Amino acid sequence: MAAAGRVGDGPLLRRILIAVAVTGTLVFLLAPIAVIGALALGSGIGAFLDAIAQPETLHAIGLTVLTAVVVVPINVVFGICAAWAIAKFSFPGKRLLLTLIEIPFSVSPIVAGVMYIFLYGAQGLFGPWLQEAGVQVMFTVWAIFLVSLFVTCPFVARELIPLMQAQGSEEEEAALTLGASGFQTFVRVTLPNIKWALLYGAILCNARVMGEFGAVSVVSGNVRGQTNTLPLQVELLYNSYNTVGAFAAASTLAVLALLTLGAKLLLERHGHVGEALDAAPVPSTRLSLAGDRA
C-alpha cells in the first residue's frame, strides 16, 4: 500500500509540522536560555563569577542542592514502595491510592505551599501543638523539604507503576521458588528490571526539586542567606535590579538543569541499548526449535 495514501503523511504537511516544531523549540525554548547566558556573561566573566560568589547566592546554590539530596532519595524509596504495592498486590482502595499519588500533578504548587502553612504554620492546625513542642517548621529548610516532597511525590512512582505492572510478578515468584530471600529477590531480580525507569524518575524528580518556585516561596519565608533556594534568589536579585546577579544565578540554575537533561539523555541512550539487546535477532543454532520465537 502506498505510504502517500495514509492520512497526515503528505510531504507538504510533513514539512509544515517539522517547521512548526523546530521554530517553536528555537523561539520558546532555546532563545531564552541563550539570552540568560548572554546577559549573565554580558559584563564579562569576572562580573559573572563575582555575582555567583556572593555569599547569599552561594548559600542558595547549596540549599538547592541540599534539598535535592534530601528529597530525591526519599521520593525514590516512596516511589518503589508505592509502585510495588500498586503493581504487585491487589487491595481495596488501590485505584484511589493511585489517584491520590497523582494529586500534586493537578494541584498548583502555590496551593501546596498554602496548605502546608494551614497545617504547620503558627495559626495552622498543628501550629499550637508544634509551638508547645518548640518545633519551628514553617520558614525553615524543613518546610522547603516538605513542600518539595509534596510537589515531586508522583515522579518516581509514575515511572515505575506501568513498567512493574507490565512485568508482572512471575520473575519474583521464580526467584522465591529458587530459594531467594525477599531482599535477594529485590536486589537481584526486581531492581535490575526497573533500574532505568527508576533513574529516569529520579532525574525528573531532581529537576523539579531544583526548579520549584511557587510552593517553596510560600513556605520558606525568603530569609536571605538562610531559606532562599536558587529560584527564589533569582527572583530576589531581579527585583532588586541586580541584573547581572539575577542572570548569573539563573544561568547556574540553567546549568544544573542542563546537567540533569544531559544525564537523562545519557540514560535514554543506555536504556535503548538495553532494549536493542532485548530485541536483537538471534541466529538459532537448533533448526528444529527455530520456529517458536515469541
Partner 1 sequence: MSITVRSLTKTFGTFTALDGVSLEVEKGELMALLGPSGSGKTTLLRLIAGLEFADAGTILFDGTDTTHLSARERRVGFVFQHYALFRHMTVADNVAFGLSVLPRGRRPDKAAIAARVKELLELVQLGHLAGRYPAQLSGGQRQRVALARALAIEPAVLLLDEPFGALDAQVRKELRRWLRDLHDEIHMTSVFVTHDQEEAMEVADRVVVMNHGRIEQVGTPVEIHDAPASPFVYEFLGHANKLDCRIDGREVAAGGWSAPLARVAPAAADTPAPAGASAAAVAYVRAHELELLPESRAPEAAALAVVRHLTARGGQVRVELSRRPDGAVLEAEVSRAEADALRLTPGTPVAIRPRALRLFAA
In the structure grid, which three cell numbers stand for residue 115, read together?
496548605
Q: Which stretch binds partner 1 (CB under 8 A): 37-45, 77-85, 128-136, 174-182?
A: 174-182
Distance from C-alpha of 1 to C-alpha of 10, rounded to nearest angstrom: 15
Asked whether position 292 contacts partner 1 by CB under 8 A, the answer is: yes
Contact status, residue 258 vs residue 203, Cβ threshold 8 Å: no
- Per-residue CA distances from 53 to 158, 231, 287 (Å): 38, 16, 69
Which C-beta is closer to partner 1: that of 132 or that of 278?
278
Does 285 contact partner 1 by CB under 8 A? yes
Report DSSP state, residue 250: H
Nearer to partner 1, 65 or 189 (CB): 189
Binders in 203-242 for partner 1, by CB under 8 A: none
Least Å distance, CB 79 to partner 1, is 20
- Note whether 233 and 184 are within 8 A (CB): no
For partner 1, the closer CB: 8 or 291: 291
Per DSSP, the residues of 195-228 read: HHHHHHHHHHHHHHHHH--HHHHHHHTT-TTTT-
The three cell numbers locating residue 97? 491510592
**Dist. CA 37–CA 35, nearest whole Å:** 5
The span of 15-23, 212-220, 239-247, 285-293 binding partner 1 (CB under 8 A) equals 285-293
**Is 166 a binder of partner 1 (CB under 8 A)?**
no
Structural contact between residues 160 and 79, judged by C-beta atoms closer than 8 angstroms:
yes
Residue 162 sits in the site that holds partner 1 (CB under 8 A): no
Decide: is 267 part of the binding site for partner 1 (CB under 8 A). no
Q: Which residues here bind partner 1, judged by CB under 8 A?
A: 170-171, 173-181, 184, 188-189, 192-193, 277-280, 282, 284-286, 288-294
